[in-house]
């Protein structure tokens, strides 16, 4: 077993990034096999429970009010409509249901419905994950009491680059919510986006921030930017095609995440729709062991179940069984 360290230096992480590619992928696969079942991929279903109209100005996101992306704003879905979607996901074999809302933060008046959704999805036997923006300590406790398994809150990029991508909040705000989620006893899901026109030093800083948290996130999503027309970064990429992330550099980022955070699930998240099967295969060799299934992410297209089933069969990969819940679900404990 490799040691789990939270004292990584930027220099060590930069050295990993600079290894010959074969050596880096070999090290990542070795670490992977010491901590995870080889050849098993966690399949997660994603649903946007509240789309668009978000007051934040994240330069990559189609759901910001600042973006001219054509995404229509909706209200929070009805509890029953969400549970219906969750039941369909459970029927099709999904064991993890991730729900996203285009909010800066949930309002207190939204919380009763959110709590009912968590309880309802959990009662179907699926793991639950939510991403709702920043949380107050009380909201984090309410989610924990409802039995939420994971909370997704990405740091997205390096601390240095953060305010070039988002101006309506700071990296500190992000880290504060992550600390609240941890304190409340919910598993942490945190990662970011590669391909924002960042430098390798930014990718080093991004991984360093995650790998030196007091405890590593249980889940680390690595998204490749989905360039959306009408967003600052989507338009920038359309004008400067060379800014698109190199596939090998993307795989390197996955490998370095795997080596520095050996126990975490590393999710190959957004961007698979435009990625070749060969690049995805390299990501799995480099230690990615989770994907989103289905033909839609939150607003953007995803690879789709048929394509994914064919890819997994071609690569000889199998769906991972649900993890044992990492902590007891408070909502399902008998009342004292």
What residues are annotated to the active site?
54, 58, 61, 98, 129, 189, 267
Number of residues that bind ligand SAM (CB under 6 A): 20
Rounded to an integer, what distance in angstroms lies between the CA atom of residue 96 and that of residue 268? Answer: 15
Note whether 82 and 104 are within 8 A (CB).
Answer: no
Q: Which is nearer to ligand SF4, 46 or 54 (CB)?
A: 54
Q: Stretches 2-10, 23-31, 99-107, 306-314: which one binds ligand SAM (CB under 6 A)?
A: 99-107
Strand, helix or coil for residue 262: coil
Tokens of 17: 């990034």
177 near ligand SF4, rule: CB under 6 A = no
- Taking a C-beta distance cutoff of 8 angstroms, is the pair 226, 300 a contact? yes
Q: Which stretch binds ligand SF4 (CB under 6 A): 36-44, 55-63, 73-81, 186-194?
A: 55-63
* Shortest distance (Å) from residue 268 CB to ligand SF4: 19
Asked if 240 and 211 touch (Cβ cutoff 8 Å), the reply is no
3-state SS of 67-79 is CCCCCCCCCCCCH
- Own/partner pairs, 198-202, CB within 8 angstroms, 24+ separation: 198/157, 198/158, 198/161, 200/14, 200/17, 200/249, 201/14, 201/158, 201/160, 202/157, 202/158, 202/160, 202/161
CB of 38 to ligand SAM, least distance (A): 28
Q: Could you say whether residue 56 binds ligand SF4 (CB under 6 A)?
A: yes
Segment (H or E) for 219 = strand 219-224
* By CB under 6 A, residue 158 contacts ligand SAM: no
Residue 63 CB, nearest distance to ligand SF4 (Å)?
Answer: 4
Contact map string, positions 19 to 58, toward ligand SAM, x by CB under 6 A: -----------------------------------x----
* Binding-site ranges for ligand SAM (CB under 6 A): 54, 60-61, 63, 100, 102-103, 131, 133, 153-154, 156, 192-193, 223, 225-226, 228, 270, 298
List residues near ligand SF4 by CB under 6 A. 54, 56, 58, 61, 63-64, 102, 133
């Amino acid at each position: 077993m490799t040691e789990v360290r939270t004292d990584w230096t930027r220099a060590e992480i930069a050295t990993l990034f600079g290894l010959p590619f074969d050596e880096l992928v070999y090290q990542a696969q070795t670490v992977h096999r010491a901590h995870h079942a080889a050849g098993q991929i966690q399949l997660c279903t994603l649903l946007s429970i509240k789309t668009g109209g978000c007051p934040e100005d994240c330069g990559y996101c189609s759901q910001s009010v600042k973006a001219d992306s054509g995404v229509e704003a909706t209200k929070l879905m009805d509890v029953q409509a969400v549970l219906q979607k969750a039941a369909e996901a459970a029927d099709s074999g999904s064991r993890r249901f991730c729900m996203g809302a285009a909010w800066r933060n949930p309002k207190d008046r939204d919380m009763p419905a959110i709590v009912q959704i968590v309880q309802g999805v959990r009662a179907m036997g699926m793991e639950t994950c939510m991403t709702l923006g920043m949380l107050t300590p009380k909201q984090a406790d309410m989610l924990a009491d409802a039995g939420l398994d994971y909370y997704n809150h990405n740091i997205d990029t390096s601390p240095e680059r953060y305010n070039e991508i988002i101006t309506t909040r700071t990296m500190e705000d992000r880290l504060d919510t992550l600390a609240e989620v941890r304190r409340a006893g919910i598993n942490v899901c945190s990662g970011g986006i590669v391909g924002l026109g960042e430098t390798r030093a930014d990718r080093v800083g991004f991984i360093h921030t995650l790998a030196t948290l007091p405890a590593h996130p249980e889940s680390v999503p690595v998204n490749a930017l989905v360039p959306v027309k009408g967003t600052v970064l989507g338009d920038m990429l359309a004008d400067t095609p060379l800014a698109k992330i190199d596939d090998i550099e993307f795989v390197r980022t996955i490998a370095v995440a795997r080596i520095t955070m050996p126990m975490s699930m590393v999710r190959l998240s957004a961007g698979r729709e435009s990625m070749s099967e060969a690049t995805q295969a390299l990501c799995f060799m480099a230690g990615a062991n989770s994907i989103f299934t289905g033909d839609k992410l939150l607003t953007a297209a995803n690879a789709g179940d048929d394509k994914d089933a064919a890819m997994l069969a071609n690569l000889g990969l199998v769906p991972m069984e649900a993890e044992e819940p990492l902590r007891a679900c408070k909502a399902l404990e008998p009342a004292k």
